[in-house]
Amino acid sequence: MARPRGDVYGPSAAKRAKGRKAVGLAGNGGDEAFIRYYIQRINDASRMSDPTLLDPLTGPDCPGCRPLTDFISANASAGTHVDGDMWEVQRTITQTFDATSAGVIVTISQRPARIVDRDGRSVDVLRANQGDRLMTLSFGAVWRLDRVQMVG
């Protein structure tokens, strides 16, 4: 029986640990480190079909966050999950930044990935794609994602 990789295992575990140290920083690239950490948590949540992994990272009314959470929840309800990491950050460019907020343009590549059932049988496929998003963050004690918009 195929199982999603756990949160602390796999080749990207060291990158996630490094990201966790940076997500609380208000300066010195903490905003971009948060974005990379957030994308890795999307991959974790998709592999484990657990949208609650994203809850501490997003604002309560984040436009653009809901479709992703709905996708992960639908997979959980169907007993399926994404088999591997589906998103990868290609680049980040901070557009606006102050002590309490940041606007970051993020180029994300969607890798081809299978959606599999509990037995590891493929039920759907995510196609390769790439796009830019403007991610608006707020900073209190930690960074949180408040808004996601497609760019271009």
Q: Say if pTM beats, i.e. exceeds, 0.75.
A: yes
**Taking the CB of residue 88, how many other CB atoms lie within 10 A of it?**
16
Q: From first to last of the 152 residues of the chain, give the pLDDT tens digit.
A: 333 333 333 334 334 444 444 455 555 688 999 999 999 999 999 999 999 999 999 988 898 899 999 999 999 999 999 999 999 999 999 999 998 999 999 999 999 999 999 999 999 999 999 999 999 999 998 899 999 999 97
Cα 43 from Cα 25, distance rounded (Å): 22
Cα 58 from Cα 38, distance rounded (Å): 9
Write down the pLDDT at residue 26: 52
Write down the pLDDT at residue 61: 86
Cα 60 from Cα 45, distance rounded (Å): 18
Write down the pLDDT at residue 9: 32
Tokens 């403007």 map to which residue?
Answer: 134
Write down the pLDDT at residue 109: 97
Cα 17 from Cα 57, distance rounded (Å): 15
Write down the pLDDT at residue 152: 77
Write down the pLDDT at residue 23: 52
- Of 11, 38, 9, 2, the closest CA to residue 142 belongs to 38
